[in-house]
Homo-oligomer: A and B are copies of this chain.
Amino acid sequence: MAAPADFLSYVDTHKDQFIQRLAEAVEIPSISGDPDRRDDVVRMAKYLDSQLQAYGVETKPVDLGPHIMDGHHLQLPPAILGRIGNDPSKKTVLIYGHFDVQPAELSDGWSYPPFKLTHDEKTGRLYGRGSSDDKGPVLGWVNVLEAHHALQTPLPVNLRFCFEGMEESGSDGLDKLILEEVKKGKESWFDGVDCVCISDNYWLNTRTPALTYGLRGITYYKLVIAGPAKDLHSGVFGRMVHEPMTDLIALMSKLVDPQGNILVPGVDAMVPPADAEETALYTNLDYSIDDVEVSAGAKIALSDDKASVLMGRMRSPSLSLHGIEGAFYGAGAKTVIPAKVAGKFSIRLVPPQTPENVDPLVIKYLEEEFKKLGSKNTFSVESLHGGKPWVENHKHWSYEAARRATEAIYKQTPDYTREGGSIPVTLTFAEALGVNVLLLPMGRGDDGAHSTNEKLDISNYIEGTKLLGTYLYEVAAGTKA
């Protein structure tokens, strides 16, 4: 079922108003990670709440309680639940998004004021913090609601909304809200949800729309070597004592090789190699080695083979060494023997890996390697946090609906992608509701979500609004198929 022509033309004719809506939202600096901006996050919640209500959505702000951030005792910004439509003959789609943003200062290197939406006429881009992550997509849904409200057209599905204001700061309180809401059964605002749609990631490139069906998990380690009671002078103690840094560097060097192979026995081996059919999925993605090197800013791809590089990100685990706590890190030349040093590294996980089955391999291996060093220093390793990977059935009717919607709006078959990073709420929804979750990105791979000069192309905002609306019609069509 294609979207009605009057919906699509309403979106085109209201382009300026929709951009104005995004401008209003960007002007609210709803930085969840800055205690001084907490009032702005709450103001943004109210703004979104009033927009939803204006187009017929019943809403419920949910108090998520207090928390502590950087030593400040704060109230969490409310989550906004919403519902519109209760027709048992229609599918029910739950929409998730977030209205908080990453920090941004002009002095970080922005070419535009980050909290004022700047329309670059030449490039057709809208610059501003949150334009792409995630105010644009959230307001895309509001645009869809406005169009149907104005046209007095009933929505093709029942909609439920869950919008939060803490996504950029660990989604404090959200898992609890979801789990408690689900427990309410018939009274739950999530009752009867058939699928979840999240628009909070990006196309792989700048050309091809994407549907995302997988995310890597993570397990993050802290490896501690301690020796002397205090930092020592390398002139006085050098070659008299076992130095913790020597041991730590030796151990960290045994984790991953310069080609990205994980050296912890059994970890890479847990993931079966891709067969020809799966490899073809990656070969067929609209992506090039040049794309990765442009986004990294240097010619440092691990391979010249596109499928191999893409599989490295999407269907392989990866181990990154992030840094060392407790060692000298400043400029200049300090001649210290650090007393206690902690190496930080993490492994991105793919099925069937979980923190539970990977952590013991890593810990056992490091214990054995430490023993081999013959050092008198002390050793410990712990996992600081972890999260499971997520891979969805991308042949589900929700994905099929999204594919048809993409083909209708963009005249392109979407890339089916898996992301290398994590969006933890995805797994929470999948597990708590037991339904299919679709990641349906609006923005492009070069939007610079957490970086300076974040932008959303106007075409992505407007065609993306059409895509979201059309997806709902295709979901409805799928119901009848």
Contacts and interface: CB of A to CB of B under 8 A. Distances in A.
A450 B232 CA distance: 11
Interface stretch (A140-148, A254-262, A360-368): A254-262
Interface stretch (A61-69, A83-91, A120-128, A241-249): A241-249
Contact of A297 (B229, B243, B246, B328): B229
B346 A300 contact: no
Interface in A223-256: 227-230, 232-243, 245-247, 249-250, 252-253, 256
A193 interface: no
B258 A242 contact: yes
Contacts of A319: 238
The bracket for how many chain A residues form the interface is: 35 or more
Given A242-B258, A258-B246, A420 B236 contact: yes
Nearest to A385: B333
B241 A300 contact: yes
Contacts of A309: 240
B375 A238 contact: no
B329 A241 contact: no
Nearest to A327: B323
A313 B246 contact: no
Contact of A317 (B239, B325, B344): B239
A153 interface: no
A328 B334 contact: no
Contacts of A259: 374
Contacts of A232: 296
B338 A333 contact: no
A239 B318 contact: yes
Contacts of A229: 296-298
B335 A346 contact: yes
A117 interface: no
A322 B300 contact: no
Given A249-B253, A312-B240, A419-B235, A325 B329 contact: yes
Interface string A364-391: 0000000001111100000011000000
Contacts of A135: none
B336 A234 contact: no
Contacts of A420: 233-240
Given A258-B242, A302-B240, A309-B240, A320 B337 contact: yes
Contacts of A432: none
Contacts of A337: 320, 322
5 contacts: A238-B348, A239-B260, A246-B320, A253-B253, A321-B327
Given A238-B319, A320-B337, 8 more contacts: A229-B296, A237-B292, A239-B302, A252-B253, A299-B376, A323-B327, A323-B336, A333-B346
